[in-house]
């Protein structure tokens, strides 16, 4: 059996719930309208663990990004069904289209648009380094501004509370605490391996990479921004991975501090009921890792679904 104390667990906030993921399983726990916690446990091994070449450094980051987008939509669909009591079904083609739209939106708003806007200042900034620095700062400002803007929405505020519950629960687990709300709530809602930090790292890496490319014509710049996105994602993934491994060192905390600051927007302090949901999700992952041997079938979806009786 795997050593549960060494499991690398990540997660994501969903509608009225939390998704947790280990190497072999993912679970979604959701607070239902009747106050019960519905929880689904699924088995899905990353292709990076099944295809050796796709697990190589820098390549794995690109693959994991696409997988996490797909998994995020699956978890969100499950949470909508559980939290509303309505059945929503999404086909594989609809899922692929949703992922493609999300990618196009991200690339268009945070990479192409800042390049077009930066073009207006091109004639006033002869230095290619300063010009690319300005474009990079515009890109980062877009990201921070977008996150700050949506944080005022009521539904997003609750989502950010569940995001905080996810972080607190994972940190309590990583510190060997018994997973009960009283223990979990004392931990920070900020975590080095958060997706928010990853987004900021992507922006910084993009700034550096693009600065090395000089100041080509606008059409060529736009092509470079899009074509190099996988390279930037691969580098960023390795950096966030290193942060998770060496996070105990002060120098790492200093370098990644801007990402933690940004998490002050994307996470909110959760209440006890939200912590209960995050705890259930993580507990299902730990139970599944402990009960299933490593040599089980590689991919099997929907192992079981439970309603957990927790204070309504």
Residue 38: inside a domain: yes
Give the total number of structural domains in the chain. 1
What is the structure's pLDDT at 293?
56
Is 69 inside a domain boundary? yes
Interval 139-150: pLDDT, tens: 999 999 999 999
Which tokens go with 102? 């999300």
Residue 239 to residue 111: CA distance in whole angstroms = 20
Say what the alpha-carbon torsion angle 277, 282, 286, 287 is, to the nearest 10 degrees: 20
Long-range contacts of 52-57 (CB under 8 A, 24+ apart): 57/234, 57/238
Q: Which domain holds residue 39?
A: 4-296
Ramachandran angles phi, psi of 219, nearest 5°: -60, -40
Residue 264 domain-assigned (yes or no): yes
pLDDT score of 201: 96
Q: From first to last of its 312 residues, what are the pLDDT tens digits of the chain?
A: 344 456 889 999 999 999 999 989 999 999 999 999 999 999 988 888 888 888 899 999 999 988 998 899 899 999 999 988 777 777 778 777 887 888 889 989 999 999 999 888 888 888 888 999 999 999 999 999 999 999 999 999 999 999 999 999 999 999 999 999 999 999 999 999 999 999 999 999 999 999 888 888 889 999 999 999 999 999 999 999 999 889 889 999 899 999 999 999 999 999 999 999 999 999 999 999 988 755 443 333 344 455 554 543
Q: How far is CA 283 from CA 71, 113, 261, 270, 288, in A?
A: 19, 43, 29, 18, 9
Within a domain: residue 304? no
Write down the pLDDT at residue 31: 96
* CA angle, 177 then 181 then 184, to 5°: 45
DSSP alpha helices (H): ranges in the chain?
Answer: 47-50, 59-84, 92-107, 113-119, 128-150, 154-174, 181-184, 195-211, 218-227, 229-245, 250-255, 257-266, 272-291
Predicted confidence at residue 248, as pLDDT, reads 87
Which residues touch 201 (CB under 8 Å, ≥6 apart)?
Answer: 236, 239, 240, 256, 259
In a domain, 310, yes or no: no
Q: Are 205 and 232 in contact (CB under 8 A)?
A: yes
256 belongs to a structural domain? yes
Has residue 81 been placed in a domain? Answer: yes
For all residues of the chain together, what is the average pLDDT?
A: 88
Q: In angstroms, what CA-CA distances link 76 with 64, 122, 209?
A: 18, 42, 33
The reported pLDDT for the residue numbered 306 is: 55
Residue in the structure block whose two tokens are 């790492």:
252
Predicted local confidence at residue 117, as pLDDT: 92
Residue 267: Cβ-neighbour burial (10 angstroms; 0-12, 13-18, 19+): buried
302 in a structural domain: no
165-207 pLDDT, tens digit per residue, is 999 999 999 999 999 999 999 999 999 999 999 999 999 999 9
- Phi/psi at 175 (5° precision): -95, 10
């Amino acid at each position: 059996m795997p050593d549960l104390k060494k499991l690398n667990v990540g997660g994501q906030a969903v509608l009225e719930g939390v998704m947790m993921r280990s190497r072999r399983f993912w679970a979604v726990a959701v607070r239902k309208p009747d106050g019960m916690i519905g929880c689904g446990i699924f088995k899905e091994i990353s292709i990076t663990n099944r295809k050796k070449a796709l697990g190589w450094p820098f390549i794995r980051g690109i693959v994991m990004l696409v997988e996490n987008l797909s998994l995020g939509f699956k978890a969100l669909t499950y949470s909508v069904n559980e939290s509303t009591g309505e059945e929503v079904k999404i086909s594989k083609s609809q899922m692929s289209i949703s992922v493609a739209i999300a990618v196009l939106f991200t690339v268009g708003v945070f990479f192409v648009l800042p390049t077009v806007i930066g073009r207006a200042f091109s004639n006033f900034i002869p230095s290619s380094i300063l010009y690319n620095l300005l474009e990079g700062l515009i890109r980062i400002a877009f990201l921070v501004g977008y996150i700050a803007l949506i944080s005022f929405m009521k539904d997003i505020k609750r989502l950010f509370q569940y995001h905080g519950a996810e972080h607190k629960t994972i940190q309590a687990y990583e510190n060997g605490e018994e997973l009960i709300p009283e223990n979990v709530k004392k931990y920070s809602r900020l975590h080095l391996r958060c997706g928010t930090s990853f987004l900021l790292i992507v922006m910084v890496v993009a700034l550096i990479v693009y600065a090395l490319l000089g100041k080509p014509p606008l059409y060529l710049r736009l092509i470079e921004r899009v074509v190099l996105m996988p390279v930037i994602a691969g580098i960023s993934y390795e950096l966030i991975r290193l942060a998770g491994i060496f996070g105990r060192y002060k120098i790492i905390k200093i370098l990644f501090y801007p990402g933690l600051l940004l998490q002050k927007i994307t996470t909110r302090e959760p209440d006890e009921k939200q912590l209960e949901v995050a705890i259930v999700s993580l507990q299902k992952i730990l139970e599944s890792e402990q009960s299933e041997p490593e040599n089980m079938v590689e991919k099997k979806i929907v192992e079981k679904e439970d309603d957990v009786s927790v204070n309504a």
